[in-house]
Amino acid sequence: MLVAGIKSRPEYKGLEIDPHARRHLFVLEGEGARALLERAGTDGGAFLAKAEILYLPGGSAGQNHVADLAALGADIVWTAAGLQTLLGRLSICLANATMGLRIYIAGKEGFIGQIIQVALDFGVDFNSLRTEHRGSLARRVQCVHCKGFTDNVTATPFVCSHCGLSLLVRDHYSRRLGAFQGVNIDAEAPGTAPEPEELFL
């Protein structure tokens, strides 16, 4: 059902540590912690003395990496109680940021998209962000009909959590919205939507 080769499909090139950055801000979710943990030995880990870590547990396979991140010895390690709390803290960090800050984002695709949105709102250049997908392939989807967002979508089609339409999850990704697009699959013949197929586990 998906169209291959969609140019808007996000690319995640990994959390390559910038040796010239004056400050490092890591925004991590669930298994995204592993992206940093695996790079902690880079440059002898010296970059960690100039690093702030914002971590949202969850989205991982029953593992919580809070203790592992704390053991890295970063300048600041902060654990969020939920996504909105993390977004608030991120906004404060960016409002007080100075030149030379490098931002690294790792976690599920929906999480990465939402963090990028906040960074762009603060004028951060998209091409300067370093991202790595970790964890589930579940998608954040916007219904193009009611404009509502549904997180953690693993199948297509699925029922919109806002308007109840059966939506085909397209491979078209909106960077501005941080979400994939969902289109009514049975608009011409309501009730004829095919059975959901798990594609994004």
Q: What is the pLDDT of residues 111-155, one digit of tens each?
A: 999 999 999 999 999 989 999 999 888 999 999 999 999 999 999
Q: What is the pLDDT of residues 10-42, one digit of tens each?
A: 889 999 999 999 999 999 999 999 999 999 977
SS3 label, residue 68: helix
Asked if residue 137 lies in contact with residue 200, where contact means CB atoms within 8 angstroms, the answer is yes
Task: Reply yes or no: is the peptide bond before residue 57 cis, omega within 30 of 0.
Answer: no
Domains of the chain: total: 2
Q: At what angle do helices 109-121 and 83-95 cross, to 10 degrees?
A: 30
How many CB atoms neighbour CB 55 within 10 A? 25
- Same domain flag for 173 and 103: no
Domain boundary among 105, 133, 161: 133
Range of the domain at 113: 23-133
Q: What is the pTM of this model?
A: 0.87
Residue 15 maps to a domain: no
How many CB atoms neighbour CB 68 within 10 A? 15
- Same domain flag for 28 and 125: yes
- Same domain flag for 93 and 148: no
